[in-house]
Amino acid sequence: HKLLKHKTEADIFCSSLNVDPSNGNIIIMGGDVRSPDAGYGIETVLEYDIKDESVRKHPKGNMHYARWYGTSVNLPDGDIFVVGGRDDDKKGSPIPEVYSADSGFRTLKGASVPAIAKEKSKNHWWYPHTFVNSKGDIIVIMPRKDNADVYRIGVEGNGSIKRIGRKPFE
């Protein structure tokens, strides 16, 4: 292990990380403030530069929604999809976002995930299982036993969402 010292005021514990296909660097989304109290998500986006091994604020700015324990996945076109996590009010962040190397983050308000928006004590926001299938569709499977919904999310325009099943799978 190597400690990556940085002065970004972001605790990246339980953030979401992806390789940025545009430059090979690591994009680090969300995390925790740890002060004055732990467990509050942050909008912060950092970049780990693989060449000089430094951590800095991402040049395209932050996400629109705070996320702690969010999930992200690389898309076939090089964009990155991020969903879930807990916000800065200790509630779920139900509105997904898409990161593009050209334009930064945009929200998908038309794809709000109902289960993540429900009561905060159920923790439906905690690392939603997210995959890209062979057709390029984003599939989100709710991770908790008390919510078994499976969704297909579209990223065009403001986004779209459709419940396509439940687990165990129908």
Q: Which residues contact 164 (CB under 8 A, 6 or more apart)?
A: 139, 150, 151, 152
Phi, psi of 82 (to 5 degrees): -130, 140
Q: Which amino acid is at 54?
A: S
- pLDDT in the model for residue 82: 97
* Each residue's pLDDT expressed in tens, for the chain with a length of 170 residues: 566 677 777 788 789 999 999 999 999 999 987 777 777 899 999 999 999 999 999 999 999 999 999 999 999 999 999 999 988 888 889 999 999 999 999 999 999 998 787 656 667 788 899 999 988 899 999 877 777 789 999 999 999 999 999 887 65
Number of H helices, E strands in the chain: 1, 12
Within a 10 A sphere around the Cβ of 104, how many other Cβ atoms? 17
For residues 43 and 30, the answer to whether their CB atoms sit within 8 Å is yes
pTM of the entire predicted model: 0.92
